[in-house]
Chains A and B, each alone.
Chain A
Amino acid sequence: MSTAQRNLILILARDFASRLATPVFLVDQDGTLVYFNEAAERVLGQAYVEGRTVAAGEWSTAFAPVGEAGDAVELQELPLGIALTDHRPAHRALRIVGADDVVREIEVTAFPLFAHADEFVGAIAIFWEQPEGA
Chain B
Amino acid sequence: MRVRIWGCRGSIAAPGPDTVRYGGNTACVEVRLDDGSLLILDAGTGARALGHALRDALPPRIDLLLTHLHVDHLQGLGFFLPIWSPETELHIWGPSSPVNSLEDRIATYFSPPLFPVHVSQVPARTVFHDAPDRSWTIGGATIYAQPILHPGPTVGFRIEENGHSLAYVTDHEPALGVDLTTVGPEWISGYALARDADVLIHDCQYSEDEYDRHVGWGHASTAHTARFAEIANADRLLLFHHDPLHDDDELDAMCARVRELWGVGDERCAVAAEGMTFEL
Contacts and interface: CB of A to CB of B under 8 A. Distances in A.
Interface string B177-201: 1100011111111011101100000
Given A1-B158, A116-B98, A11 B178 contact: yes
A21 interface: no
A8 B96 contact: no
Interface string A1-35: 11111101001101110110000000000000000
Contacts of A6: 186-187
Contacts of B193: 1
Contacts of B184: 50-51
Nearest to A1: B144
B195 A1 contact: yes
Contacts of B186: 4-6
Interface of B: 96, 98, 133, 135, 144, 146-149, 158, 160, 165, 176-178, 182-189, 191-193, 195-196
Contacts of B148: 8
- Top 5 nearest A-B pairs (CB, nearest first) are A15-B177, A5-B192, A8-B147, A2-B195, A5-B191
A117 interface: yes
B173 to A, nearest CB: 11
Contact of B149 (A1, A2, A8, A18): A8
Interface of A: 1-6, 8, 11-12, 14-16, 18-19, 50-51, 115-117, 119
9 contacts: A1-B144, A4-B191, A5-B186, A11-B178, A11-B187, A12-B149, A12-B177, A15-B178, A16-B177
Given A117-B98, A119-B133, A5 B185 contact: yes
Counting chain B CB atoms within 10 Å of each CB, the highest count among A1, A4, A117 belongs to A1
A99 B233 CA distance: 38
A127 to B, nearest CB: 21
B1 to A, nearest CB: 16
Contacts of A117: 98
Nearest to A8: B147
A51 B182 CA distance: 10
Among B146, B177, B183, max chain A CB count under 10 A is at B177
B221 to A, nearest CB: 17
A125 B176 CA distance: 22
A23 to B, nearest CB: 18
Contacts of A12: 149, 177
B98 A1 contact: no
A92 B209 CA distance: 46
Contacts of B160: 1
